[in-house]
């Protein structure tokens, strides 16, 4: 076998292994779309700098994708970015080598994330980008070496020496590209990962294997790979070409759920009783999903996350179950949240944790680390002069929830100022979006703002009435709610709508569309045999998260969720965590307010579910803005 043929066989094996691993993971459509858009941006970035040899941002972008999203998305972005960019720069026998080399850059980024816990600063990330560019260039030198007549070490050194100037240029350029945007892009992609990554889990009950479960994966592999390539090419053309006025990407949706018959309650009191009867199975599912460290992952068996653990604490409290009574390995969810205090960074993290602490019945300021770790004080540090938090409707709404949970009255300047700013962001259709006025309305953020305005004492404002009317109009024919009006219903958007409608004083059980079931009935229809709530009719991702948020909706309570009343604490020699907390943190007086039902908060997810359009816009801004500065 000749040197070129042998080397191409190795490269083909690397590429084939990478694509097979990616396809076997069965990524969600939303995550595949993110990978395709990032690959398109990487390709466009490389083509945009065609006039400057070896000055390309693709290495830095690929490494950050691997660092933030994991090895398989990183590999896919690097390989696809090279393939697609060469449609302009020229294809050749070197293309598979470039795909393999820059795919490995994505793998290096994922390795760095694993070793560092995704805590690298700007300079270390930039250094990693530069060194990865140098390593990728050396792989390309190997390609050039295989084409020569001599394959000795001396011949390789000669090839490397001829390319030294170009390699050093690429290394330095990649370092500066990483210095310019790597941390910002990593943060945005981190939010994408938290909001959109889907892990499929087998149901607890055995199901017969079918063509769509096991045997179908191999048959779908080539089709999925081709679809991803097609989406990347289309995204490249769309991102590089003119955009129609007012054109706007659809926002990503949250998890959806499946089937399960349930009677449609027509009377609100009957519906409330039926809801209370149904939630015991959901509570059992969440209790069984707890990890030994006290926390929860997105699905049973997954490692614990502050994001999912906080939502479970809120959901348990809304359902009347003391979060501190659920323990595994001697630890409660509060123990895990306190252990994760150092990982809280953005306003969304702080807001969600404050709500979870309040639901646990402890002080919202009770995180370890002294005064500097007080989440309430840190949250107020994100307050802007106009009263908003981050100039985002989503974060500002959750800031109101968090401040009210921390004891701030509705008339306090922080709450009143945030509510006044929110009211000015209402769209013409009565809804609200994730950011500011003009970005378009969605169900999740509208429901969040309705609750925030109600918490701020604005129940009689015209803005509240118009927003609740938007929610009523957005109901789908199946009784549920999509994130964007006209889309597919899902459990989390439905839960948000229930909470918003409840906060606005609407009778949720009586809200139907053309004879459909109510939003409560739709949620109950998604109850799976194992007690989890499915994300939609067609999906069952992140069942712990979805079930926790559905519990808040089924309890018809709005944010902030107050802790359930506890029995008087018994004295004991050791004193359990729950008993000690019961003595020092009596239940909040606003414990039993009626409101809407919850699902993953759009932005409080920090990382939790902005729309795909907003995330893509953020990605574009993060990548392009530093280059134009």
CA pair distance 495, 614, nearest whole angstrom: 21
pLDDT of residue 23: 62
Which of 144 and 562 is assigned the larger pLDDT? 562
Largest CA distance in the chain: 86
Alpha-carbon distance 299 to 134, whole Å?
39
Question: What are the extents of the domains in the chain?
Answer: 3-198+228-239, 268-615
With CA atoms as reference, report the closest residue to 605 among 480, 475, 491, 448.
Answer: 448
CB of 619 closer than 8 Å to CB of 185: yes
Residue 208, pLDDT score: 38
Q: For 170-206, what is each residue's pLDDT tens digit? A: 999 999 999 999 998 988 888 777 665 544 444 444 3
624 pLDDT exceeds 60? no
Angle among Cα 544, 189, 213 to the nearest 5 degrees reads 45
The pLDDT score that the predictor gives to residue 587 is 36
pLDDT digits (tens, 9 = 90+) for 417-448: 999 999 999 999 999 999 999 989 999 999 99
Whether the per-residue pLDDT at 601 is higher than 70: the answer is no
pLDDT at 276: 44
pLDDT at residue 25 in the model: 60
Q: What is the mean pLDDT of residues 540-546?
A: 94
Q: Spelled out in words, what is the top-level CATH class assigned to the domain 268-615?
A: mainly alpha
The highest-confidence range among 66-80, 139-153, 508-522, by mean pLDDT, is 508-522
Q: Of the ranges 78-87, 164-173, 340-349, which one carries the lowest mean pLDDT score?
A: 78-87
**Rounded Cα distance, 336 and 628, in Å:** 42
Residues 6+ apart with CB under 8 A from 372: none
Instruction: Specify the CATH architecture of the domain 3-198+228-239.
Output: Orthogonal Bundle (1.10)
- Does residue 226 have a pLDDT over 70? no
* Mean of pLDDT values over 459-475: 91
Residue from 308, 252, 299 nearest 29 by CA: 252
pLDDT at 159: 83
- pLDDT score recorded for residue 5: 61
CA dist., res. 484 & res. 250, Å (int):
8
Mean pLDDT of the chain: 78
The answer to whether 343 touches 327, Cβ cutoff 8 Å, is no
The pLDDT, as a whole number, for residue 353 is: 96
Residue whose pair of structure tokens reads 């703002």 in the numeric block: 449
Residue-by-residue DSSP string for 156-184: HHHHHHHTHHHHHHHHHHHHHHHHHHHHH
Distance CA 106, CA 355 (A): 36
Question: 172: closest CA among 137, 127, 216, 213?
Answer: 127
* pLDDT score at 307: 95
Please state the pTM of the whole predicted model: 0.53
Q: Is the pLDDT confidence value at 614 over 70?
A: no
Does 246 score more than 80 pLDDT? Answer: no
Q: How far apart are CA 57 and CA 176, in angstroms?
A: 9
- Work out the average pLDDT over 277-291: 86
What distance lies between CA 403 and its chain's CA centroid?
A: 23
Going by pLDDT thresholds of 50, 70 and 90, the confidence category of residue 499 is very high
- Percent of the chain residues topping a pLDDT of 90: 47
Torsion sign across C-alpha atoms 314, 316, 322, 325: negative
Q: Which tokens hold the place of 402?
A: 């968090």
Q: Is it the case that residue 234 has pLDDT exceeding 60? A: no
Instruction: State the average pLDDT over residues 408-418.
Output: 96
* pLDDT of res. 15: 61
Beta-carbon contacts of 162 under 8 Å, excluding residues fewer than 6 positions away, are none
Nearest Cα to 591, choosing from 358, 340, 286?
358
Q: How confident is the model at residue 277 (pLDDT cuts 50, 70, 90)?
A: very low
Output helix, strand, coil percentages for the chain, rounded to the nearest 5: 60, 0, 40
From CA 505, how far away is CA 528, in angstroms rounded?
30
Q: Measured between alpha carbons, how far is 222 from 164 in angstroms, rounded to an integer?
A: 38
Centre a 10 Å sphere on the Cβ of residue 545 and count the other Cβ atoms it contains: 31
**Hey, what are 426's tokens?**
């209402």
Find how far residue 269's CA is from the centre of its chain.
Answer: 35
* Omega cis (within 30) before 560: yes
Cα distance between residue 78 and residue 56, in whole Å? 13
- Among 92-106, 339-353, 391-405, which stretch is predicted with the lowest mean pLDDT? 92-106
Query: 102 or 591: whose pLDDT is higher?
Result: 102
The stretch 488-501 carries a mean pLDDT of: 96
Residue 249 has pLDDT above 90, yes or no: no
**Nearest CA-CA partner of 178 in 80, 56, 69:** 56
How far apart are the C-alpha atoms of 388 and 225, rounded to whole Å?
Answer: 43
Average pLDDT over residues 57-70: 91
Burial code (b: 16+ CB inside 10 Å, e: under 16) for 210-248 equals eeeeeeeeeeebeebbeebbebbbebbeeeeeeeeeeee
Q: Report the alpha-carbon distance of residue 250 to residue 243 in Å, rounded.
A: 15
The pair of structure tokens assigned to 46 is 């490389």
pLDDT above 50 for 282: yes
**Least confident segment among 22-36, 243-257, 564-578:** 243-257
What does the pLDDT average to over 367-377? 81
Residue 22's pLDDT is what? 60
- Measured distance CA(43)–CA(234) in Å, rounded: 12
Q: What is the percent of the chain with per-residue pLDDT over 70, rounded to a whole number?
A: 72
Q: Answer with the residue of higher pLDDT: 403 or 609.
A: 403
User: For residue range 303-357, what is the model confidence (pLDDT) as tens digits?
Assistant: 999 999 999 999 999 999 999 999 999 999 999 999 999 889 899 999 999 999 9
How many C-beta atoms lie closer than 10 Å to residue 367's C-beta? 24
For residue 293, how many other CB atoms are within 10 A of its CB? 17
Q: What is the pLDDT of residue 10?
A: 66
122-155 per-position pLDDT tens digit = 999 999 999 999 999 998 888 888 877 677 888 8
Which pLDDT value is given to residue 60? 92
């Amino acid at each position: 076998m000749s040197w070129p043929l042998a080397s191409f066989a190795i490269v083909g094996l690397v590429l084939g292994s990478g694509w097979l691993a990616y396809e076997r993971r069965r990524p969600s459509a939303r995550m595949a779309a993110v990978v395709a858009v990032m690959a398109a941006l990487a390709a466009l970035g490389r083509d945009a700098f065609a006039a400057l040899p070896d000055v390309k941002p693709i290495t830095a972008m690929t490494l950050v994708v691997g660092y933030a999203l994991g090895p398989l998305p990183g590999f896919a972005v690097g390989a696809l970015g090279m393939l697609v960019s060469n449609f302009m720069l020229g294809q050749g026998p070197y293309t598979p080598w470039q795909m393999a080399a820059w795919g490995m850059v994505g793998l290096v980024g994922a390795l760095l994330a694993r070793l560092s816990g995704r805590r690298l600063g700007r300079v270390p990330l930039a250094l990693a980008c530069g060194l990865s560019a140098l390593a990728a260039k050396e792989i390309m030198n190997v390609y050039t070496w295989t084409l020569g007549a001599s394959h000795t070490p001396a011949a390789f050194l000669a090839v490397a020496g001829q390319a030294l100037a170009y390699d050093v240029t690429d290394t330095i350029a990649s370092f500066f590209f990483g210095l310019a945007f790597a941390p910002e892009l990593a943060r945005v992609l981190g939010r994408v990962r938290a909001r959109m990554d889907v892990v499929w889990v087998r149901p607890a009950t055995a199901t017969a294997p079918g063509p769509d479960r096991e045997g179908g994966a191999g048959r779908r592999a080539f089709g999925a790979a081709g679809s991803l390539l097609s989406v990347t090419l289309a995204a490249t053309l769309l991102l590089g070409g003119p955009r129609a006025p007012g054109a706007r990407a659809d926002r990503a949706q949250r998890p959806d759920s499946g089937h399960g018959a349930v009677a449609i309650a027509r009377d609100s009191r009957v519906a409330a009783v039926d809801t209370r009867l149904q939630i015991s199975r959901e509570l059992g599912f969440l209790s069984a999903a707890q990890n030994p460290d006290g926390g929860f992952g997105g699905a049973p068996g997954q490692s614990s996350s502050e994001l999912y653990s906080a939502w479970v604490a809120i959901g348990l409290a809304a359902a009347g179950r003391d979060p501190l009574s659920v323990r595994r390995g001697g630890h409660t969810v509060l123990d895990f949240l306190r252990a994760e205090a150092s990982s809280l960074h953005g306003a969304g993290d702080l807001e969600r944790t404050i709500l979870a602490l309040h639901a646990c019945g402890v002080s919202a300021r009770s995180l370890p680390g002294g005064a500097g770790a007080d989440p309430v004080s840190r949250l107020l540090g994100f307050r802007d002069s106009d009263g908003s938090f981050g100039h985002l409707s989503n974060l500002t709404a959750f800031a109101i929830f968090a401040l009210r949970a921390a004891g701030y009255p509705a008339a306090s300047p922080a709450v009143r100022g945030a509510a006044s700013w929110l009211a000015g962001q209402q769209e013409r259709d009565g809804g609200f979006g994730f950011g500011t006025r003009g970005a378009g309305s969605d169900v999740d953020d509208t429901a969040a703002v309705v609750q925030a305005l109600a918490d701020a004492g604005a129940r009689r404002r015209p803005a509240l009435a118009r927003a609740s009317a938007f929610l009523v109009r957005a109901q789908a024919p199946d009784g549920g709610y999509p994130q964007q009006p006209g889309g597919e219903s899902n459990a989390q958007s439905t839960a948000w709508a229930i909470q918003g409608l409840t906060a606005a004083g609407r009778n949720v059980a009586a809200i139907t569309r053309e004879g459909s079931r109510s939003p409560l009935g739709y949620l109950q229809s998604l109850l799976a045999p194992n007690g989890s709530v499915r994300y939609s009719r067609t999906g069952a991702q992140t069942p712990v998260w979805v079930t926790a948020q559905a519990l808040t909706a089924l309890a018809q309570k709005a944010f902030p969720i107050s802790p359930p009343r506890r029995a008087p604490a018994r004295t004991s020699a050791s004193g359990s965590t729950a008993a000690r907390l019961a003595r020092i943190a009596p239940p909040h007086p606003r414990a039993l307010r009626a409101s809407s039902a919850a699902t993953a908060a759009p932005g409080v997810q920090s990382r939790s579910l902005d729309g795909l359009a907003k995330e893509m816009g953020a990605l574009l801004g993060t990548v392009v803005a530093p280059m134009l500065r």
